[in-house]
Amino acid sequence: MQGRLVAGRYRLGEAIGSGGMGRVWRAHDEVLHRVVAIKELTAALYVSESDQAILLARTRGEARAAARINHSAVVTVHDVLEHDGRPWIVMELVEGRSLADAVKEEERVDPREAARIGLWVLRALRAAHTAGVLHRDVKPGNVLLADDGRVLLTDFGIAQIEGDSTITRTGEVVGSVDYLAPERVRGHDPGPASDLWALGATLYTAVEGRSPFRRTSPLTTMQAVVEEEATEPRHAGALGPVIDALLRKDPAARPDPTEAEQMLAEAAEGRRPREAQAYVPTRHSGPSAQAATAMPGTAGPAGGTTATPYRTTTGPTAVAPAPTGYAGPPAAPGGPASGHPPAGAAAHRPRRRLRTFALVVAVAALIGAGTAVVLQQRNGEGTSAGPDVSRSPSASASASASGTAGEGTGGSVPDGWVRRDDPLGFGLSLPEDWQRTEFGDAGGDLRQVDYTPDGGEHLLRISVDTAPDYNDPYAHQLDLEVQLQRLVDYRRVVLERADYRDRDSARWEYTWTALAKDTEFPGPRRAVSQTYMSHDGVEYALNMSGPAGDWETTRERFRTVLQSWQEKTA
């Protein structure tokens, strides 16, 4: 399409961005002789005629919304047109990159710079709100960082203009779920405070390098937005209290734009905003909370032995890995450190959500998170943790049964391999020097075992779920893959349905680049996973990971493991 003339006026150059709704092109306006950006709404090619009309209405709405806002921090829209049966938007070309790209390339943004960026985004939002326009999709991908130092807010494609009738279907959720305010998830009408929430989530992503509420699926992400508190940011500096203030669940409890602007201005100067402290929830810690950290020395599945503690919270918040170097696990905001939920909080977390979260974290750990997971489950008497994890050779050896070299249910195995009858009930053959580590949830539905000879550079992980969330292994792997898109250089090699011993199964191979901050074994890596359902409804997932340069050895080992595998029979 490069070089094509659109509407007899705009000559397309190279594509400079793409997303779920379309792509953005650099183009030359041959009438005014200037360089512009053109957004092509490719989604119109794949929808019905009635939906095309809705899409066109949204596009025109975006142009009208942007046209009503007069501010240097808002990308100017020059024109909206129809070409080849779909809408196109002609915009100011901003030479630079998005905040999302900056986070991806640099891992995180300096908090003072993030505060400066947030200040300009807030000013753009204030101008929009004054013009009666709600953005409704503030996120890092819609914040542009120009090469000349400017910060601009773009993409008012789902903006709502005061007084306009909605063009959104009843019940339809619009916007990126990671950045939806709680009131929007609940179906309430958004207001200016909803855009401020999204700004808070965007700033959190900027300084921490990850979204504060992203979970295993859009549904569980929205549940986290409504029910859970964001993990306390470690790299936010003076910006931390401002983020806390913007992420208050109650929109009425968030600062107004004037207060927020003052806070961001102070944080941009490196000063901790005094006004923001009033919005920061009190956090408690004590002996009970300190005792809840994971055992040190856990095997980092993508390589390296780590000593990463885990942050625990009361109420409905799931257990999640705390960043490396975190000193201790405070209790949830508003609750004591005793492990009991605060008054009015849910005392029981749905098991289904916990298992899904556990499985995703297990896969993330396998491919390079550098930590293992200690899962906790709320019950009527408080919090009970799963079994301790030990990396001592003696503990590992005693946990796995001895066997005879060269034996296996699936035929002959290489020299130096032995039969392992695992305490979880399954059996398989492995090299004699591979050591065992077990972890899982307290309820016993999900158990996970690692075998590795070298602290995780080469790893076999086996997950056994007696009450799985999915009855289709292929669908489960597709869902897990979504969570791995954040990995550097992630690439799917194969993800397909397969038969394994006459059972419904799926095989998934992928590659990525492990970072030195996550593992003692950085560099290109490759993994393979075989997931299947047993006749009695148990989900088994066998995963193996190793350096990409040693893939032939890893693949041959995995083939032997699959041949020798025997699931629990009693």
pLDDT tens-digit series, residues 297-340? 223 333 333 322 222 222 222 222 222 222 222 222 233 222 22
* CA 192 from centroid of its chain's CA atoms: 26
Residue spans per domain, the chain: 5-92, 96-277, 352-564
Angle at the Cα of 476 from the Cα atoms of 475 and 480, rounded to 5 degrees: 120
* Max avg pLDDT among 208-212, 320-324, 411-415: 208-212
Confidence of residue 354 (pLDDT cuts 50, 70, 90): very low
- Residues identified as active-site: 137
pLDDT for 185 equals 86
Residue 496, C-beta contacts closer than 8 angstroms, at least 6 positions apart: 474, 506, 507
SS3 435: strand
Would you say 137 and 61 are in contact if contact means Cβ atoms under 8 Å apart?
Answer: no
Exposure string over 491-517, b if 16+ CB within 10 A, otherwise e: eeeebeebebeeeebbbbbbbbebeee
Confidence of residue 376 (pLDDT cuts 50, 70, 90): very low
Would you say 215 and 174 are in contact if contact means Cβ atoms under 8 Å apart?
Answer: no
* CA 316 from centroid of its chain's CA atoms: 19
pLDDT for 514 equals 87
pLDDT for 387 equals 29
SS3 277: helix
pLDDT tens-digit series, residues 14-72? 988 776 567 889 999 999 999 999 988 765 555 566 666 776 776 676 677 677 788 89
Residue 264's CB is within 10 A of a number of other CB atoms, namely: 28
If one compares 82 and 93, the residue with the highest pLDDT of the two is 93
| Tokens encoding 469 | 């969330």
- Note the residue count of the chain: 570
Which contiguous run of DSSP H or E holds residue 185? Answer: helix 182-185
**High-pLDDT (> 90) share of the chain, %:** 40
Helical packing angle, 473-483 and 351-364, nearest 10°: 70
Task: Specify the residue for token string 């004037």.
Answer: 258
Superfamily of domain 352-564: Mog1/PsbP, alpha/beta/alpha sandwich (3.40.1000.10)
Q: pTM for the full model?
A: 0.49
| Tokens encoding 76 | 């100017």
Would you say 463 and 541 are in contact if contact means Cβ atoms under 8 Å apart?
Answer: yes
pLDDT tens-digit series, residues 450-500? 999 998 899 999 998 888 878 889 988 888 887 677 788 889 999 999 888
**C-alpha span between 430 and 411 (Å, rounded):** 13
Domain 5-92 indexed as CATH 3.40.50.20: no
Confidence of residue 249 (pLDDT cuts 50, 70, 90): very high
pLDDT for 123 equals 95
CATH (residue range 96-277):
1.10.510.10
Which contiguous run of DSSP H or E holds residue 40? Answer: strand 34-40
Confidence of residue 239 (pLDDT cuts 50, 70, 90): very high
**Mean of the per-residue pLDDT values for the chain?**
73
pLDDT tens-digit series, residues 271-293? 888 766 666 554 433 333 332 22
Average pLDDT over residues 136-164: 80
Q: Which of 502, 504, 494, 448 is nearest to 473 (CA)?
A: 504
Would you say 485 and 509 are in contact if contact means Cβ atoms under 8 Å apart?
Answer: no
Would you say 65 and 124 are in contact if contact means Cβ atoms under 8 Å apart?
Answer: no
pLDDT tens-digit series, residues 140-153? 999 999 999 999 99
Confidence of residue 81 (pLDDT cuts 50, 70, 90): confident
pLDDT tens-digit series, residues 86-120? 778 898 999 999 999 999 999 999 999 999 999 99
